[in-house]
A and B are shown apart, each in its own frame.
Chain A
Amino acid sequence: MNLDKKIILLLCLFFHDVLYAELTIRITQGVGKQTPIAIVPFGADKGVPLLSVDIAEIITNDLMRSGRFSPTPQKNMLQKPTTGAEIDFDDWSILGVEAVVVGRITQMRTGSYNIQFQLFDIYKGEQIVGYRMPANDSTLRRSAHRIADMIYRELTGIRGVFDTKVAYVKSNVSRNETSYSLIIADSDGENEQVVVNSKDPIMSPAWSPDSRQIAYVSFEGNASSIYLQTLRTGNRRKISDHPGINGSPAFSPDGRKLVLTLGGPDGNLDVYILDIATRALKRMTYNRAIDTEATWSPNGKEIYFTSDRGGAPQIYKIFLNSDKAERVTFQGNYNARPRLSPDGTKLAMVHLYRGDYRIAIYDINKKDLLILSSGMQDESPSFAPNSDTLIYATKMRGNGVLETVTADGLVRQRVASKQGDIREPVWSPFLKL
């Protein structure tokens, strides 16, 4: 398996100029087991109006996008049951399907529904899981993602991340002007919502651990400042506007502090910790080099950051109870923008590989580096809250687009995007129900 992976990666690296457009698809289909599953269109009880959201379609797309499932096309289905009692297991085993999802929607009041779904193991002829959940017109899409998450967890053992969000920065260049937006969308790229618009650059969005707030850098007034914005209300406050650089915010695991970069009037970038409530500032690095892009370890005890104190940018870490920095990366001349997996076992970064900036992942225990992406200017890796998948920005015909890749490198997908140059994706934590 390991050797296979290496060969595939080598092939990717070798052919990426020629085959880049199809490459993600090849990897997705060529490697790893894809469970054959059928998601039957959900039935609707009498009185349910035609809904704007096709629940089965969303579940199908979610599972397909993960690369770990091959959903049966609707036209191949020999029957379309909507409850477990209607399933003819033989009909599905003929098709080679291993699992079937059926469901029904009942209307409670106008605009208010009950969604029931059941997941069946075709070989055993048994129900694996079944749930009933309330929904309304505005939560139908989210309910579908939650059902997909439950199916994913039952069949892969990994917690799903379909019911999560991604924040990113989008720029639109018109003839004379560039405008910048911070946007939040569902993990499938749908349901885009603007957090802030500006004529000046916006960068470095960071989710609070409770996913209620976003910190970001804005250059309004031609100076960088860090803002903290509450998503529900849209209220925001400026939390850091020292002279010079205010950049690279990241929340502590308890949400009370931000680690950030300040440059000061002399432009010496160092890492600081800001207590959000008291505004107390603690300096963490004292170095004439660029120290920036800091992030917390999930246990809250260490900070990883980029520094070029050794000449070229590399990743270092500091234990909060001491002030000694320790170098972490040694492979290659450029390693930057560290981000730790929420389970603390892996470190994602931007790694310069033969002249191309790639997303690489460093296994903290095994100390080996795996290159995950195949572009020339890939950047801003961010882990999904299940530590199993990452999202990052790459370029396609000069425009920024987003891709996801599993941490083992086997499944890579482009995230559907609309217009604009998109970058700096940040995956949200698991959302509260």
Chain B
Amino acid sequence: MERFNLGLIGLLFLVLSGCASSGSKLGSMGNDSGMSSSSDSEDAATYGMGMDSNNNLETMTDDSMSENLETIIYFDFDRSELRTEYDGLINAHASNMNSNTLLTVRLEGHADERGSREYNIGLGERRAQAVRRMLLLNGVAPAQITTVSFGEERPNSYGSDESSYTQNRRVELVIN
């Protein structure tokens, strides 16, 4: 419960600072759909959510600001670069954490199941590090961030097809 309140305060700060200084950033987080699936507890919300909200990760309606930010970032095959569509989301998380330095985030990197398991741990870590670097660039303190790579060990989707692989190449932000 305490966590949730801290998150709320962060989001309120985000709204205020966004209005004052970076209107265009917030403006890019236009109309929504998929956000409604991010819900209840943060821990549970990071599991299996991506199934139905793949295309709308960065979007957010003005009146849904009190809800949690999306916490899953997806990656292309064999890539660890962040797609530009996530700039807004990561900025929002960074603002959130800057405004509340008690918040910490664990970046959990994941890979799809193809290839060797320990090498996939490396690929998952590269993705987590890409998110970490963006948060650091946005002013988040290193002490607020830890990374862990689960490689292919914790898939979001258990299928062996492209749509499952797309769901599994991801970084999950677990905020505490």
Contact = CB atoms under 8 A, between A and B. Distances in A.
A108 interface: no
Interface in A281-307: 290, 292-293, 306
Nearest to A224: B148
Most buried by A among B108, B122, B153: B122
B118 A201 contact: no
A423 B160 CA distance: 15
Contact of B106 (A222, A337, A357): A222
Given A245-B149, A263-B149, A336 B160 contact: no
A59 B84 CA distance: 62
**SS class, residues of chain B in contact with chain A:** mixed
A249 to B, nearest CB: 10
Interface residues of A, number: 40
Contact of B119 (A266, A306, A423): A306
Contact of B126 (A261, A267, A313): A267
A266 B107 CA distance: 12
B118 A263 contact: no
Interface stretch (B16-24, B53-61, B67-75, B109-117): B109-117
B108 A222 contact: yes
A244 B108 CA distance: 11
Interface residues of B, number: 30
B129 interface: yes
B114 A357 contact: yes
A244 B125 contact: yes
A269 B128 CA distance: 13
B146 interface: yes
Interface in A195-232: 201, 203-204, 219, 222-224
B125 A357 contact: no
A352 B160 CA distance: 17
Interface string A162-191: 000000000001000010000000000000
Contacts of B116: 293, 306, 313, 336-337, 350, 357, 379-380
B158 interface: yes
A49 interface: no
B117 A203 contact: yes
A293 B151 CA distance: 13
B3 to A, nearest CB: 16
A30 interface: no
A398 interface: yes
Given A201-B153, A245-B149, A263 B125 contact: yes
Given A178-B154, A201-B153, A377-B113, A223 B148 contact: yes
Contacts of A350: 115-116
A247 B121 contact: yes
Interface in A343-402: 350, 352, 357, 376-377, 379-380, 395, 398
A176 to B, nearest CB: 9
A357 B116 CA distance: 9
Interface in B137-161: 142, 146-151, 153-154, 158-160
Nearest to B151: A203
A416 to B, nearest CB: 23
8 contacts: A222-B174, A224-B149, A267-B125, A267-B132, A293-B116, A313-B116, A337-B119, A350-B116
